[in-house]
Structure 1
Amino acid sequence: MFDPPAYLSPSSITTFRECPMKYKFSKIDKIQEPPTWFTHLGTFVHEVLEHFYQLEASERTVDTVRTTAAACWKESDWEAQVLALTKPMGSIADFKKAAFECMTNLWSIEDPQQTELSGMEHEVLANIDGVQLKGYIDRFIIGDDGNVIISDYKTGAIPNPRFKSEDDKFFQLLVYALMLQEADQEETSKLQLLYLKHSANHEMTVTPVRLAVARGVIVETKELIDKACETGEFSCNISKLCDWCFHKSYCPAHTK
């Protein structure tokens, strides 16, 4: 009935497991969600930090992150993008303040002058047990021992452990670890979620068991997606998250 996407990404796997119908709207029907204050904030901070870490180590200071932010703001016309939001959460000054706080909180997590990244916004393609995967890694470091540390910037809130387990929180990075292992024969030793808003670094040690579980989730999810595409039946997972879902107004679970 529907053609399954040629590739899955770590985020699309998460979307399907959270709600198959949301996955259908996004990946099958190609309904694009408009940007929000929070997605713009994350994209802007990511853009600035990518340029910032391209500077020489001695140049990575709070002053230069400020000038880098100003250059990115102008080059990508971020003011127009923020002003175009249908539901702004504040003024341009509020947006800049929130973004700059995330950037400067980086110094509470690591010393940028002592942090040498091996790659940023790194595209990786891999075949995991017959499942074609594609994604972009925020940043990674290859240590002296040859092992990789994968990091992901987060500008939002830290998930409540009552609703999201550690394995779920790190699932996407575990998938990237598998992809690097398959595509580049790189072994990942550690995962980091850098919660910039809260100056927090959450880490997970990569183990064979965790990788095996992630591999199983990938294969199982691909099978479920293929079955849903074949039958046209995408279930709705009704939860409190529905109130935050862009697709709620036309979702069959809420239009009966």
Structure 2
Amino acid sequence: MKLSYSAISTYLECPLQYKLIYIDKLKRLPKPYFSFGRSLHKATEFFYSAMLATPPTLSEFLKYYEENWESEGFESKEEEKKHFELGKKILDKFYEINSKDYKTPIAVEYNFNVDLEGIVLTGFIDRVDELPSGNLEIIDYKSGKRFPSINELNEDLQLSIYHIAAEKTWEILPEKLTIYHLRFNTPLSTQRKPEQIKEATKKILKVSNDIEKGKFEPKEHSFCPCDFPQYCPIFAHKYEIEKTPQMILGETDIPKAIKDYVQTKEKIKKLNAKANEIGDNIIRYCEDQGFSRVYGEEYSVTVSKVEKKGYEEDEVKKLLEDEDLWQNVLSFDSKKVKSLLEDPGMSYELKKEIKSLEKVISAYNQLRYSKLKEKKEN
């Protein structure tokens, strides 16, 4: 199986979308940010691609940008012009910064295909530089509106894939993994530890395994709907591109049913709020008067205290650490402690000590009503 970062990230975002794009070969709709990003990337590639001791001139650089500008996806000529001019401004600053200390990179837009436990990882690395130490710096250009945090870089799967590819290609551990954000013309660098690469490898292998098993369920997220709502069971009915079958219960008017359902749920919510307010008044009355049950004409209401029992983490932790059992309940959860108490391997004395630590963690009043029995007539 051959997988790129783009394919992996698409699967993690939505397995069904992965299937539609990479297996069914449906084409994504053009987007302005795709065209803008590709145009900037091509220009930065040109800046270094001659592999000469000096960069192109600024006029050559901007001319290349203009001649290779991508115009797909923009809603209007005005929007396209706005992005084009923004790109010129970005590249003008890029040239000013990077032409001063220009050095020939090891590789530009490097296409890699490397084996990872039977999977072929493929992709393009924007730029590879040699550092003074002789080690490598992997540079990936970004053109989005938001500057990433260092925490995001530390967890970035794409950079981990580039690390793996570079190590397997040049047999050198990359010293720096750098995002160069074009809008800000600012680099931000990180590194990878062996455990991070191990974790990234596990994630990639799981994606590969799930694809082989045909797991292509839809996953709703903040970017929904995608370009293919007609093929998604979450959005197909809304877009009515493929007719959704009627509900089993005969000729159900779905829009009316939805309206009735929501209105009914809203009524229930309001009634629950009203019932809670009245219930609080009853509880206060009972507490003031010292009653646990009060009576009306048809019903009685009983007030009872509901207690939730559990354990305080610090108290239990000390006991379990002494017996080398704390790892069995990490992270702390009272349910795990209770489950541990059923372990036949735990000594009776320790169980007894832990049980003695059980206490009321929280409590609330609960109302229970019942219909009064009718009085028998004499």
Q: Could you tell me the TM-score, scaled by structure 1's length?
A: 0.81
Q: Secondary structure, in 3 states, of the residue corresponding to 1:41?
A: helix
The corresponding residue for 1:234 is 216
CA contact (8 A) 1:13 1:221 kept: yes
| 1:32 corresponding residue in structure 2 | 27
Aligned CA distance change for structure 1 residues 25 and 207 (closer, same or farther; 3 Å): same
Q: CA deviation at 1:107?
A: 5.8
Change (3 A) 1:96 1:158: same
1:252 aligns with 2:244: no
Q: 1:226 to 1:89 in 2, by over 3 A?
A: farther
Counterparts of 1:41-80 in structure 2, within 5 Å, are 41-54=36-49, 56=52, 58-59=54-55, 64-74=57-67, 76=68, 78=69
Letter in 1 for 2:39: F
Deviation at 1:100, TM superposition (A): 1.3
Residues 66 and 153 of structure 1: is their aligned pair in 2 closer, same or farther, counting only changes over 3 Å?
farther
Contact 2:40 2:65 (C-alpha < 8 Å) held by counterparts: no
2:193 aligned residue (177, 194, 207): 207
Alignment check: 8 A CA contact 1:189 1:205 kept: yes
1:220 aligns with 2:206: yes
State the partner residue of 1:113: 100
Deviation of 1:113 (Å): 3.1
Shift of 1:69: 2.6
Output the CA distance in 2 between the equivalents of 1:207 and 1:28. 34
Letter in 2 for 1:127: D
Contact 2:137 2:178 in 1 (8 A): yes
Secondary structure of 1:212's partner?
A: helix
Moved more, 197-206 or 184-193: 197-206
Looking at structure 2, the residues matched to 8 and 135 of structure 1 have their Cα atoms a distance apart, in angstroms, of 8
2:183 is paired with a residue of what secondary structure?
A: helix
Instruction: Tell me, in whole angstroms, the C-alpha distance in 1 between the residues paired with 2:11 and 2:131.
Output: 34
Q: Provide the C-alpha distance between the structure 2 equivalents of 1:253 and 1:175, rounded to a whole number of angstroms.
A: 32
Relative to its length, the structure with more helix (as a share) is 1
Whose Rg is larger? Answer: 2
Deviations 1:191-232 (A, max 9, x none): 11111113332221222122121111111111111112xxxx
1:102 alignment partner, SS class:
helix
Deviation string 1:126-173 (CA, Å, 9 cap, x unpaired) is: 011111111111111122333211111111122676xx94444x2112
Give the match's secondary structure for 2:213: helix
Is 1:21 the counterpart of 2:23? The answer is: no
Name the CA distance, whole Å, in 2 between partners of 1:120 and 1:140.
7
- Per the alignment, residue 194 of structure 1 pairs with 180
Output the CA distance in 1 between the equivalents of 2:189 and 2:12: 23
Q: Gapped runs of 5+ residues in structure 1?
A: 1-5
Aligned mates of 1:200, 1:10 — CA distance in 2:
23
Is the partner of 2:83 in helix, strand or coil?
helix
Secondary structure of 1:253's aligned partner:
coil
Higher alpha-carbon deviation: 201-210 or 9-18: 201-210
SS in 1 for 2:128: strand
In structure 1, distance between residues paired with 2:66 and 2:94: 19
Identity of aligned residues (%): 23
Tell me, what secondary structure is at the counterpart of 1:145? coil
Q: Structure 2 length as normaliser, TM-score?
A: 0.56
In structure 1, the partner of 2:245 is none
> Counterpart of 2:137 in structure 1: which amino acid?
I
Conservation of the 8 A alpha-carbon contact between 2:35 and 2:73: no
For structure 2, which runs of at least 5 residues remain unmatched after alignment? 238-378
Q: 1:66 to 1:155 in 2, by over 3 A?
A: farther
- 1:219 match: secondary structure: helix
How many angstroms apart in 2 are the aligned matches of 1:248 and 1:68? Answer: 40
Alignment partners' CA distance in 1, 2:81 and 2:75:
16
Provide closer, same or farther for how the CA distance between residues 91 and 158 of structure 1 changes in structure 2, counting only shifts above 3 A: closer
Higher relative contact order (CA 8 A, sep 6+): 1
**Which deviates further from its counterpart, 202-211 or 15-24?**
202-211
**Residue aligning to 2:308:** none
